[in-house]
Structures are given as structure tokens and as C-alpha cells.
Amino acid sequence: MDRIRNTLRYIALSYKINFTGGARLLVWMVLLILPSVLEIINSRVYSGLIDSFAGLTAGTAVRSCFLWLTLVIVVRGAYSLLTKTKYIVFDRFARESDRKMSLYTVKRVSELEQISFDSSSRFSQIKDAIKTELSLWSLNWQMIIILSSLITIVGSAVIISAYSFFIVLIAALSAVLIVIIGIRLSGLDVESRKKLSKDDHTVGYYDKLFSDSSYAKELKLFSAYEKLIDRWREAYMGRYKLSMGFERKKQKLVMLQGFIEAAAVASASFFIARAAWIGRITIGDFYLYTANFSMLCAALGEISDAVKDLLSLSENYNHFESFTESTSHGERKGAELSLPEKCDIRFDHVSFSYENEPVLKDISFELKNGESIALIGRNGSGKSTLIKLLCGLYTPDSGEIYINDKPYSQYSKSDLYKLFGVVYQDFNKFKLSVRENLSAQRPEAAYDDAELLKVYKNSGLDTERLRNGLDTMLGRDYDP
């Protein structure tokens, strides 16, 4: 039930993002329904054409054959036109929906607590959650397959039941078995992703080591290539063996699906062929019933695959949503914090625990404007943690931090970020232009060249090294 509930949540999100207007939903429904209906009509028209040609020897008018042939051309042409239109329109929907979903996921990730990125116990979880592919179009496409296949199933079942309801029962029985197997395949997909997650991280790390230019000099200087290649091979083979175990299970289930579908088609074809042989139905009816039974079975197989993929996609969505919901803080609202010319800071009995391990306990001190202090302590003693608390990246378990005698919890985090300039030991620069790096916290100053150059020079850097002035890129990622 949880998987079904998660799937419905994902579908609801897709509907909310994609179908902001009734016109788009109408276009989506028309292009979804008409091709399936035309495919069923096409089988009936072909049946009439076959009977009219077969009846030529019995005196059927050539005019009847010409009429059926014209209908075949019209129906096939309409089906081809609608199908091409469907893919063009749906491709446009796909690009737009995935763009919106990307913005949605980036926004959710931006709201994660900093502790989620720093926590060792959540490290794997956050990597899995962020890298999860959440394609709304993949979800939409599975829904399209399911709905269009349902239309095909209903239409084909109505046509076949006019001859024999027993054949419809054969199809229904095979459908139940195929869908059950599909759900089991989906479960194996989820289980394999969970068990392969750690190995994926290990192999991914070694892949990054060998492909990222920033590691090249260390790999050479420490002669680490051979040792790390051996470790990569060991990790890769471990993952490969575990992956192949799951693949063998899936292959057996897929083969069972194929056997059930083949047995159903063979059984139905035998009964229909026997009826045509003894003259109970015409050769056109034989084509009509066999073609519709084949379409029905193909639609059932497509539904089974779509249900499997849909459940897997919803599992990805649930993984992302569950993690981000449990660790997001959103934007803390508060009083506007104008950047003061003078700033006094006071820690008042501040305590903080990291993964249930106390790091700072009952810390109190005061830093007056203009003072310079040095925090001295061993690795892991809490120096960086104290700075992260001051900047608003972490929240104290107890106690309060004051800025000019006002509790900093009263101010929004975005304002606190603007107040402090911090360079951590694991500092990362944005591989953007100098202009964009300098104005990251003040976008309105991006084109105030005089101010930006003043800041640049005050930092002790030489402007002559800027090949393209403030538009010089920091990094080679954008080099042609």
C-alpha cells in the first residue's frame, strides 16, 4: 500500500507541475486516446478489406473492395499523422516538465540542513537522494502507456468477446500472471538498488579519481595508480557479481512472462484458426480476432512493464522526498538584519551535539568589534563547528548567540550568511567568472566594476592576471 500511495503522490505532483491549464490536459488526452482507437478501427477495416477481396470470386463488387481500400488508407494515414504529432507534442511536454522538475529538486536540496551534508551517517543517504533521477516525463510516459494500453485492451476485448468470451478469459488470466511478475520485477529493482548503493559509491569514487584532473598530480607523485586500480577492480568485480545475481533472477521472471504470453497467444490462435477452418468465421474475421488478441496481449505486456517502471520511479521519488522532508529547514523568517558597521558577538552557554556526540558544551565568550582572536584546539575539538554555528549553518542544541545584544535566532538565515565572510579549510570556489564570485551575496553589485575591483585589490590580488578583466573564468570547465 505504501508503494501505491507513493506512486499516487508522484502522479499528483506531475499533474500539478505539468497541467497548469485545461487546454494542455485536453491535448494530452486527445493524443493519448485517438491513436489507440484508430489502431482498433484499423484492424476492423483490414478485416473488411480481406473479406471483400476473398469475395471477388463469389461475385462481390469491385466497388466494395475499392471502398475498403480507401478506408484503410484514410485510417492508416490518420493513425500515422496522430502518432507523429503525439511524439512531437509529448517531446515538448517532456523537456518542459523535466526542466520544472529539475528546478523543484534543486530548490528542495537548497533547503537541506548543513548537518545533512556534514553527517557521516547521512552521507550515503544524501548522495543517493540527490543523484536520484526524478524525471516527470518518465512518469508521464509510463502513465501514457498504461492508459493507452487500457483503451486497446477494452476495445480489443469487446471485439473478441463478440466471437468467444472464453478467449477473453484466457487473456485476463495471462494478464493477472504477467502483472504479478511485473510487480515482483519492480521489487527486485528496488532491492538491487539498495544493496548495490554502497558498491556504486565505491566504484564511483575510483572512477572520479581516475577521471578528475585535480587528482592527477597526487596519483603520479605517490605512485598510486597501480594500487588504486587494483582496488577499483576488486570493488567493480564485487559489484558485478552481486548485480549479476539480481539479473539472473530478473531474466528468469522475464522468460516466464514470455512463456505465459506465448502460451496465451498460441491457445487463442488455435481456437480462432479452428473456427476459420470449419467455416464458422470468415478469413477476414480470422484476421480481426487474431490481430486484436495480439494487440490485447501486447497491451497487457506493456502495462506490466509500465507498472514495474512506475513503481520503481515512485520509489525514487519517495526516497528523495522522505530524505529532504526529514532534513529540510526552509528559509527561517525573522527581522531584517542590516549589515552593521560595528558588530559585537556573544556566545551564551551554547551547546551542540554532532550525531548524539557532544562537540561543544556550555560555551560562553564575547567578541568585541575590532578584536582579533584565534581559536586553538586539536582536530575535532569543535573549532569549525563553532564557526558554523555563528554563521547560521548549524543550530545550537541549547544556549543563544547574540549579535549586538540581539538573539541571532530572530534573524533570517539568508541575512546571517551575508553578515559573515568565511574561508574554510575545504574551501570551494565557484568555477564561474571573477565578477560572479565576488558578487555572490550581492547580485545587485555584479556590474559595479569600480566596487568589485576595489574588493579584488583589497584582497591583495593583482588585476594584471585577469586576462578578461572581471569576466575571467575561474576554472577550465568552460574552456572550448
pLDDT of residue 339: 56
Q: Give me the mean pLDDT over the 9-38 stretch.
A: 73
Most confident of 24-33, 36-45, 424-433: 36-45
Residue 15 has pLDDT above 70, yes or no: no
User: Is the CB of residue 213 less than 8 Å from the CB of residue 222?
Assistant: no
Q: Which residues pair with 335 in a beta bridge?
A: 411
Torsion angle defined by CA atoms of residues 255, 260, 262 and 263, in that order, rounded to the nearest 10 degrees: 140
398 phi and psi, to 5 degrees? -155, 165
Report the C-alpha gap between 351 and 357 in whole angstroms: 11
Cell 551547546 locates to: 351
265 phi and psi, to 5 degrees? -65, -45
Report the C-alpha gap between 363 and 381 in whole angstroms: 12
Q: Give me the mean pLDDT over the 200-211 stretch.
A: 80
Percent of the chain surpassing pLDDT 90: 1
Residue 45 has pLDDT above 50, yes or no: yes
Q: Give me the mean pLDDT over the 400-426 stretch.
A: 80
Cell of 227: 594500487
Residue 309 has pLDDT above 60, yes or no: yes
What's the predicted TM-score (pTM) here?
0.60
Residue 413 CA from chain centroid, whole number: 29
User: Is the CB of residue 281 less than 8 Å from the CB of residue 160?
Assistant: no
- Residue 378 three-state SS: coil
Q: Which helix (H) or strand (E) holds 113?
A: none
Report the C-alpha gap between 115 and 95 in whole angstroms: 34
Burial 306-336 (b: 16+ CB within 10 A, else e): bbbbbbbbbbbbbbbbebbeebeeeeeebee
340-374 pLDDT tens trace: 667 888 999 999 987 778 888 998 988 888 888 88
Report the C-alpha gap between 242 and 178 in whole angstroms: 26
Residue 60 has pLDDT above 60, yes or no: no
Give the list of residues 6+ apart from residue 35 with CB closer than 8 angstroms, or none: 79, 82, 83, 86, 148
- Which of 111-125, 146-160, 263-277, 443-457 is least confident? 111-125
Residue 231 has pLDDT above 70, yes or no: yes
Percent of the chain surpassing pLDDT 70: 82
393: DSSP letter: S
Q: Which residues pair with 350 in a beta bridge?
A: 363
Residue 165 has pLDDT above 70, yes or no: yes
Where residue 10 falls among pLDDT bands split at 50, 70, 90?
low
Cell of 406: 540581539
Residue 243 has pLDDT above 80, yes or no: yes
Report the C-alpha gap between 184 and 355 in whole angstroms: 37
Which has the higher per-residue pLDDT, 240 or 327? 240
pLDDT of residue 480: 44
The torsion region of residue 475 among left (phi > 0), alpha (psi -120 to 50) and beta comes to left
Q: Give me the mean pLDDT over the 320-336 stretch.
A: 59
User: Is the CB of residue 304 less than 8 Å from the CB of residue 254?
Assistant: no
Q: Give me the mean pLDDT over the 267-272 stretch.
A: 82
Report the C-alpha gap between 278 and 271 in whole angstroms: 11
Tell me the average pLDDT of the chain.
Answer: 78
Residue 137 Cα distances to 28, 141, 213, angstroms? 13, 6, 34
pLDDT of residue 367: 87
Instruction: Find the distance separating the first CA and the last CA of the chain, reported in whole Å.
Output: 51
- Which of 297-301, 312-316, 467-471 is least confident? 312-316
Cell 513503481 locates to: 311
80-130 pLDDT tens trace: 888 888 878 877 777 777 777 777 777 777 777 777 666 655 655 655 555
One DSSP character per residue, 6-69 reads HHHHHHHHHHHHH-SSHHHHHHHHHHHHHHHHHHHHHHHHHHHHHHHHHGGGGT--HHHHHHHH
CA angle 235, 240, 244 (to 5 degrees): 155
Going by C-alpha positions, the residue among 420, 382, 390 that lies closest to residue 408 is 390
Count CB neighbours of 371 within 10 A. 9
328: DSSP letter: B
Cell of 288: 480481426
One DSSP character per residue, 288-319 reads HHHHHHHHHHHHHHHHHHHHHHHHHHHHHHHH
Q: Give me the mean pLDDT over the 191-201 stretch.
A: 79
